[in-house]
C-alpha cells in the first residue's frame, strides 16, 4: 500500500474509531488522498468503509482534501453518490437513510483566515453561496 506511515496510522485509527464507537458517517479533512490511495484503502478496509473523497486538484498528497467515510456495517450505502462542489474543499454525499429517506452530508474545508489569505476565505464562501443559489446543490 502506498502512502506515508502517518497516513496509514490515521486511516487505521479511523477504521478503529468507526468500529468501536459505532459511527455510521465520519467526515475527514486534510485527507491528502489520491484516487489510487483511496482505492487501496477501500480494499484494505472493505469490510467496513466506503470512502468518498475530493482532493486538491494541484497537489492532492500534500494539501487539503475532504472525505466522507460511510460504515456499511451500520448504514445502507447502496446508491450513495458524491457531488464535488469545490475540488479539495467541499463536497456532498447523498445516501439512503431510514425507510425511503435520503440523507445529504455536506463537508466543507474552508481556507484559513490569515493575514495574507483573508480574501481567499471570503471568496470561497461567496462561491459556495453562488453555487447554492444557481445550481440548487443543497436542495
Assigned C-alpha cell, 23: 459511527
Domains and CATH numbers, the chain: 5-110 (3.60.10.10)
Which neighbouring-strand residues pair with 54?
66
pTM, entire model: 0.86
Asked if residue 73 has pLDDT above 70, the reply is yes
Q: In angstroms, what is the C-alpha Rg of the chain?
A: 16
Burial profile 4-24: b = 16 or more Cβ within 10 angstroms, e = fewer: eeebbebbeebbeebbeeeeb
Q: pLDDT digits over 92-125, tens only?
A: 999 998 888 999 999 999 988 877 667 888 888 9
Element counts in the chain: helices (H) and strands (E) = 3, 6
Asked if residue 27 has pLDDT above 80, the reply is yes
Q: pLDDT digits over 75-90, tens only?
A: 999 999 999 999 999 9
Tell me the average pLDDT across 36-55. 95
Amino acid at each position: 500500500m502506498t502512502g506515508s506511515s502517518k497516513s496509514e496510522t490515521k486511516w487505521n485509527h479511523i477504521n478503529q474509531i468507526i468500529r468501536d464507537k459505532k459511527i455510521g458517517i465520519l467526515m475527514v479533512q486534510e485527507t491528502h488522498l489520491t484516487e489510487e490511495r483511496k482505492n487501496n484503502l477501500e480494499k484494505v478496509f472493505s469490510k467496513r468503509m466506503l470512502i468518498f473523497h475530493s482532493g486538491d486538484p494541484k497537489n492532492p498528497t500534500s494539501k487539503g482534501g475532504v472525505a466522507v467515510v460511510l460504515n456499511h456495517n451500520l448504514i445502507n450505502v447502496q446508491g450513495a453518490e458524491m457531488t464535488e462542489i469545490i475540488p479539495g474543499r467541499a463536497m456532498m454525499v447523498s445516501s439512503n437513510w431510514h425507510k425511503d429517506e435520503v440523507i445529504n452530508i455536506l463537508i466543507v474545508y474552508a481556507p484559513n483566515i490569515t493575514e495574507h489569505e483573508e480574501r481567499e476565505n471570503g471568496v470561497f464562501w461567496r462561491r459556495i453561496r453562488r453555487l447554492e443559489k444557481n445550481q440548487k446543490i443543497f436542495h
